[in-house]
């Protein structure tokens, strides 16, 4: 059994929260993503975090409203030094799950997503999570960029309404013209001298959604301020 002691994760897009435990990111499991990691070819594995299996996660609440989240079986691979802010979850008097942290959250989207996934756990929903190596676990100021790749975003089993929504999003964004759109990002601005949490610039869902390809490229360049990381990643053979 592993206890989720460090739960602050760097969500910059999506709806479901990520949890952290013993150097891993725990993500609510869906069948398609599970199959992707289990069937992935060796030529792609060097571009993605290590897949470490799946765990059953449960949440319980004590008399004071404090939540305890544990995973089974125990997680033992990829132990890393964790520098993330200590985070706790609490159930308030209205039954809402709230995030309690020892500093002002720099990424409110992540806190909102985490509250939702913990609430689902309390309801007995989404008990299975996939485990991925947390590649930013040793970084105190990680920069994260979430891109949605492809000109089509809906699955074959999507409902008619969801298919139309996804087609509209692609048609009215850079997905149609560039085959990619920016979902969100989190940056560390090294030029300013304010406290750490103020240096994170969180760009939430649908930022750069209704934009031209020219604006997309300019924003990406200005936000990253350097092409070194992208060049290093793309040069892998």
Same domain, 89 and 201: no
182 is in which domain, residue-wise?
144-234
CA distances, 115 to each of 6, 39, 85, 203 (Å): 14, 31, 16, 19
Strand partners, 223: none
Tell me whether residue 139 is in a domain: no
What is the structure's pLDDT at 170? 87
Can you give the CATH number for the domain in which 194 is found?
Answer: 3.30.470.160
pLDDT digits (tens, 9 = 90+) for 40-65: 999 999 889 999 998 888 777 777 77
Structure tokens at 146: 């979430």
Please tell me the distance from the alpha carbon of residue 24 to that of residue 28, in angstroms, as a whole number: 13
Percent of the chain with pLDDT over 70: 61
Structure tokens at 117: 């996934």
pLDDT digits (tens, 9 = 90+) for 183-198: 777 777 666 643 333 3
Same domain, 127 and 155: no
Mean pLDDT over all residues of the chain?
A: 71
pTM over 0.85: no
Least confident of 33-37, 65-69, 148-152: 65-69
Residues 213/219, Cβ–Cβ less than 8 Å: no
- Overall domain count for the chain: 2
Residues in the chain: 237
What is the structure's pLDDT at 208? 45
């Amino acid at each position: 059994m592993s206890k989720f002691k460090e739960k602050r994760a760097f969500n910059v897009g999506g709806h479901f929260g990520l949890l952290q435990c013993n150097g891993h990111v725990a993500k609510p499991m869906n069948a398609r993503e599970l199959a992707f990691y289990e069937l992935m070819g060796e030529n792609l594995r060097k571009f993605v975090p290590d897949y470490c299996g799946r765990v059953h996660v449960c949440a319980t609440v004590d008399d004071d409203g404090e939540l305890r989240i544990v995973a089974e079986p125990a997680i033992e691979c990829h132990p890393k030094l964790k520098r993330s802010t200590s985070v706790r979850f609490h159930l308030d008097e209205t039954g809402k799950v709230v995030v309690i942290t020892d500093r002002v959250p720099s990424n409110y989207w992540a806190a909102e997503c985490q509250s939702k996934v913990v609430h689902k756990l309390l309801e007995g929903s989404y008990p299975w999570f996939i485990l991925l190596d947390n590649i930013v676990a040793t970084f105190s100021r990680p920069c994260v960029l979430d891109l949605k790749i492809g000109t089509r975003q809906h699955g074959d089993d999507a409902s008619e309404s969801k298919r139309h929504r996804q087609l509209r999003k692609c048609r009215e964004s850079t997905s149609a013209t560039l085959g990619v759109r920016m979902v969100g990002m989190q940056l560390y601005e090294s030029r300013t001298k304010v406290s750490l949490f103020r240096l994170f610039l969180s760009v939430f869902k649908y930022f750069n959604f209704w934009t031209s390809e020219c604006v997309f490229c300019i924003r990406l360049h200005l936000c990253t301020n350097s092409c070194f990381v992208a060049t290093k990643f793309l040069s892998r053979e």
